[in-house]
Amino acid sequence: MRIECIAIGTELLTTRRVDTNSVWLGEQLAAMGLGFHRKTTVGDSQEDLAGLFREALGRSDLILITGGLGPTFDDVTKEIFAGILGAELVEDAGSRADMMAFYAARNRVPPQVNFKQALIPAGAEPLRNQVGTAPGVWWQDPPGHPGVRIVMMPGVPREMKRMWEEQVGPRLRPLAGREVHTLRMVVAGVPESNLDERTRAVRERHGHLDWTILANLLQVELLVRGPDPAALAAVRADLEPVLGADLACIGDGNLEDAVLDLLKARGETLAVAESMTGGLLASRLTAIPGASTAFLGGATAYTVEAKASFLGLDPAWLGTVGTVSDACGGAMAEAVRQRLGATWALGICGNAGPGVEGGAPVGTVFIALAGPAGTVVRSHAMAGDRAEVQLRSTALALDFLRRQMALLGIKH
Amino acid sequence: MRIECIAIGTELLTTRRVDTNSVWLGEQLAAMGLGFHRKTTVGDSQEDLAGLFREALGRSDLILITGGLGPTFDDVTKEIFAGILGAELVEDAGSRADMMAFYAARNRVPPQVNFKQALIPAGAEPLRNQVGTAPGVWWQDPPGHPGVRIVMMPGVPREMKRMWEEQVGPRLRPLAGREVHTLRMVVAGVPESNLDERTRAVRERHGHLDWTILANLLQVELLVRGPDPAALAAVRADLEPVLGADLACIGDGNLEDAVLDLLKARGETLAVAESMTGGLLASRLTAIPGASTAFLGGATAYTVEAKASFLGLDPAWLGTVGTVSDACGGAMAEAVRQRLGATWALGICGNAGPGVEGGAPVGTVFIALAGPAGTVVRSHAMAGDRAEVQLRSTALALDFLRRQMALLGIKH
C-alpha cells in the first residue's frame, strides 16, 4: 500500500509553526507495519492544492490529509477534491447535528460560515469530530480511482489524534500486514558515531530487520523494527552486553524515566540545586507522572541571594571560590541533599552564555553529585548556544547519577 | 520564483524526528520576500528520490534540498541528480582538502567511504562545509533546465544553517524582490477566536498586507508582513488601542521576555515557588540570557518536605488547608518573596494529572501573586494532559504578573 501524507496550511510554509501531525501519523503507521513514501506540506493556494491532489491520486493508494476543513474561505480541502473527482458536496445531517450540539453545549449559535463544515462529498462518509466542529471525511473508491482511499482530518492536533484513534486507525488496521514490533533502546553518555561502530556487528547479524539510530542533545535512540517478537528479543540479548552500562533504558522512556525508575526500585530519593540550568533539570523530572515518589524538589538558586537563602551558602565564601566552580557545585549538592533529606542530590553551576561569567568561559559546567558515599564533582567544557548547554547539562547530570547508582549498591 | 524544499531521510517518515530545517528555511525565505510553494519529506529509496527530483525539476525554479550528502550507501542525493541530468560526478580538490583538514584537526584519518563526499556533479559548484565533512552543491542551469537552481545542503541543522547564512542566503538575496518586513505582536490571555474577531476591522483596512494569526498554549502571535515599513507602522498604530492590555510584546520576544523587560525597566525583581509546574516556570525565565538581572530564583517545592525546608511552611498546616489550595499557593508566593527579598513572587500549586491529588480534580491550578500591594490568588480549571496543564499554568502565571505590573505603578 503506497501511503502519502499532505499537511495543508500556509503558516506551515512561512512561520515557525511545525507540522507535528504527520510526525505522529508516521509513528502510528510504523506500528502497523505501514509507512509513508512521502509527506508534503502545501499552502492554501487552490492551484497548488489541486495540482498536488491530482498527483497524489496518481501515485498513492491511501492519501492522509490534515487541515483545510475549517469554516473560512481558505479551507477548501473538500471543495477541491470534490471538484477534481466530479462529486457534489451534500450536507450530512449527522455532522450538522453534531455541530449544533457542540455550540449548544457552550450556549452559542454557530456562525453562518460554519455550516459549510457539514458538507461532505457525495459517496464519501463523514468522520465524527468529538472535540471540535469540523468533521473529517473517509472517501473509499472515489470516482475513477478504485482501490484508493482519501482520508481528510482536521489540522488541530487534538482533533486529528482523536479522529485517528477512534475512527481512522481502526479502519486501516485490517488492511495492514503483520503487526510490526519495535525494540527501542536508549543509550546515554556516548556519541552516535561510537554507538554506530559498536553495534555494527549485531546489526549485520540481524540485517533483515529495520534499524534506525537517532541522536539528539540528550541521548541516542536505537530503533529496531520487525514482525517477529522473538527476533527482536534476540537482538536485545545480543545488544545488552555490547551496550553495557551505556544502556539507559529499554521501551518507551527516556533518560529521566530511567533515573526515576532506578530510584523507585532502590527506594531512594533525589533533590536538585540548579544555578545555570535554572529549573530545567527539575522540570524534566516533574514532567513525568508520579515523579514525586522519588523526586523531592529543588532549588533554582540562580543568584547568590538564592544560594544563601535556599541552600545556606555563605555569600562571602561564594565570592572567594566563585559561583562557577567545583566547590560551589559540590556545596550546592550537599546543601540541598541535607535540607531535603534526600539519598542523592545533583548540583549544577556553570556559564551557559552568552557572556563570560565570573571568569568562566561560555560552556563551562560543573556537575556535582552528593550521595551516600560522598560527593563527586565533574567539570565539562561544552560547545553550543545557551539552550544547548543548558539541555546537555541536564542530560549529563542525569546520566552521572544513573551510572553512580549502577556502581553503588543500595546503602541505607 | 517557484521554490520548493525537499528534506531527505527515512527517519523523518517513520520516527519522532521532526524536519526543523525546512521550518527554519521557510522563515529565512519569508524575510527575503520569498516562500516555498511546497515542502516534501521523502525517505532514502532511490526510486522515490528519482521520481521526486524529476517532478521538482519540472515545477520549480529553485530546489532546496537537505540531507543525503553523507558518506553511507543510502546518501545518494548527488548521485541521483547527476544520473537524472546526465552529469558525471568529479572530485573537487578543495572539498577533499577541507575534509582532510577536518580530520587532521581531530588527529584522525578519513574512512575510505568518506571520500565520496568530495564528489561534485560536473558543472556544479561546491559549497564549503565549515562545521562538518559533507560539502553542499550549488547547481545553476543544470543540463536541460536553464534558469533552474538546485541547492543541496547537509541534513545536520548546524551545518545546514551555517552553509545557508554564509553561502546560499547571500547568493539568493539579489534574486529576491523587495525586502519584506515583519510586524510581530504577541498577545497573551485571550483565545485566538477573540483576537480574530477584534482585529478584523484593522485587517480589512490593511488587507493588502500578509496576515497570519498563530496560537499555541502560551500565547497568540499576530504576524503582518509587507515591503513597506511605514505601512506596518500604521498597522501597529491601529492595533495597539484594539489590543490594549492584552498586548504582551512587539518584536522577537515572547511572554517571558515581556515580563523580564518590564521588571528590568521598573527596577524590580521576581522569585517563584513551584509545586505542580516543577521548575518549568523558572526554566522558561532562565532560558533567556541576562534573566538574572530580574529573576532571583525559585523553589521547586514539589513535596511537603520541600515546602517546609525551602519555604518554611508548616507541614501540619499544609495538611489542614491542602497542598492544592488557594491558601497553599498564597503562602508559597509570600514565603519565597520574603526569603529572596523580591518585589514580586509567583506561587503555583495544582494537579496536573494524571490522577486525582488531595481531592482536587486534574486541571485544578492555583496561581498566587505576592507583590508590594499584597497577595492575590486565582484558581483555574483546565483541560488537557499533564504537559499542557503545566505549560498553560506557567503562561497564566507570567500573564498574571504582567497585567498586575501594568495596573500597579512602581512602588519601592
Q: Which of B338-341's residues contact partners 24+ apart within 8 Å by CB, and which partners?
A: B339/A309, B339/A310, B339/B271, B339/B310, B339/B311, B339/B312, B340/A303, B340/A305, B340/A306, B340/A309, B340/B269, B340/B271, B340/B296, B340/B297, B341/A305, B341/B269, B341/B296
CATH topology of domain B181-250: Alpha-Beta Plaits (3.30.70)
B197, B300, B362, best to mutate vs chain A, most A CBs in 10 Å: B300
Using CA atoms, how far apart are residues B109 and B118, in angstroms rounded to an integer? 15
Highest mean pLDDT among A150-164, A177-191, B63-77: A150-164
C-alpha cell at B10: 527515512
Which residues of A, range 103-142, sit inside 8 Å of B by Cβ?
none
**pLDDT above 90: residue A408:** no
pLDDT at B358: 66
| Average pLDDT of the residues in A111-128 | 91
**Contact flag B340-A292 (C-beta cutoff 8 Å):** no
- Backbone dihedral angles phi then psi of residue B317, each to the nearest 5 degrees: -65, -40
Q: Which residues pair with B371 in a beta bridge?
A: B374
| Average pLDDT of the residues in A279-301 | 95
C-alpha cell at B263: 521588571
A191 — pLDDT class (breaks 50, 70, 90): confident
pLDDT at A106: 84
How far is residue A212 CA from its own chain's centroid? 16
Using CA atoms, how far apart are residues B120 and A187, in angstroms rounded to an integer? 36
The string of pLDDT tens digits covering residues B239-283 is 999 999 999 999 999 999 999 999 999 999 999 999 999 999 999
pLDDT at A72: 80
Q: What is the mean pLDDT of chain A?
A: 93
Q: Does A358 touch chain B (CB under 8 A)?
A: no
pLDDT at A411: 59
pTM listed for this prediction: 0.90
pLDDT at A215: 85
**Contact flag A303-B310 (C-beta cutoff 8 Å):** no
Burial of residue A384, with CB atoms counted within 10 A of its CB: 0-12 exposed, 13-18 middle, 19 or more buried = middle
* Cα separation values, A399 from A218, A286, A374, Å: 10, 17, 17
**pLDDT above 70: residue A412:** no
The string of pLDDT tens digits covering residues A88-112 is 999 999 999 998 998 898 888 888 8
* Cα separation values, B98 from A68, A288, B69, B134, Å: 47, 45, 15, 10
Using CA atoms, how far apart are residues A87 and A357, in angstroms rounded to an integer? 67
**pLDDT above 70: residue A142:** yes
**Contact flag B35-A13 (C-beta cutoff 8 Å):** yes
The string of pLDDT tens digits covering residues A205-257 is 999 999 988 888 889 999 999 999 999 999 999 999 999 999 999 999 999 99
CATH topology of domain A184-250: Alpha-Beta Plaits (3.30.70)
Q: Does A214 touch chain B (CB under 8 A)?
A: yes
**Contact flag B291-A271 (C-beta cutoff 8 Å):** no
- 3-class DSSP state for residue A196? helix
pLDDT at B409: 75
**pLDDT above 90: residue A309:** yes
Q: Which residues pair with B64 in a beta bridge?
A: B5, B151
Nearest neighbour of A14 by CB, restricted to B26, B48, B299: B26
For chain B of 412 residues, list the mean pLDDT of each consecutive stretch of 10.
Answer: 96 91 95 94 94 96 96 89 96 93 87 88 95 93 97 95 97 88 94 86 94 88 94 98 96 95 97 96 96 94 92 96 96 97 97 79 95 96 90 97 88 54
pLDDT at A196: 84
The string of pLDDT tens digits covering residues A310-361 is 999 999 999 999 999 999 999 999 999 999 999 999 999 999 988 776 678 8
Nearest neighbour of A306 by CB, restricted to B278, B297, B354: B297
pLDDT at A358: 66
The 3-class SS string of chain B reads: CCEEEEEECCHHHHCCCCCCHHHHHHHHHHHCCCCEEEEEEECCCHHHHHHHHHHHHHHCCEEEEECCCCCCCCCCHHHHHHHHHCCCEEECHHHHHHHHHHHHCCCCCCCHHHHHHHEEECCCEEECCCCCCCCEEEEECCCCCCCCEEEEECCCHHHHHHHHHHHHHHHHHHHCCCCCEEEEEEECCCCHHHHHHHHHHHHHHCCCCEEEEEECCCCEEEEEEECCHHHHHHHHHHHHHHHHHHEEEECCCCHHHHHHHHHHHHCCCEEEEECCCCCHHHHHHHCCCCHHHCEEEEEECCCHHHHHHHHCCCHHHHHHHCCCCHHHHHHHHHHHHHHHCCCEEEEEEECCCCCCECCECCCEEEEEEEECCEEEEEEEECCCCHHHHHHHHHHHHHHHHHHHHHHCCCCC
* Chain B residue numbers touching A13 (CB-CB < 8 A): 26, 35-39
Q: What is the CATH number of domain A3-175?
A: 3.40.980.10
ipTM of the complex: 0.89
**Contact flag A309-B18 (C-beta cutoff 8 Å):** no
Q: What is the CATH number of domain A255-407?
A: 3.90.950.20
How far is residue B63 CA from its own chain's centroid? 24
Q: Which of B174, B154, B172 is nearest to B162 (CA)?
A: B154
Which residues of A, range 228-247, sit inside 8 Å of B by Cβ?
none
A3 — pLDDT class (breaks 50, 70, 90): very high
**pLDDT above 90: residue A155:** yes
DSSP-assigned letter for residue A357: B
C-alpha cell at B194: 477573540
pLDDT at A289: 93
B218, HSE (Cβ side, Cα atoms, 13 Å): 18
C-alpha cell at A318: 561564594
Domain assignments of chain A as residue spans, ordered by start: 3-175, 184-250, 255-407
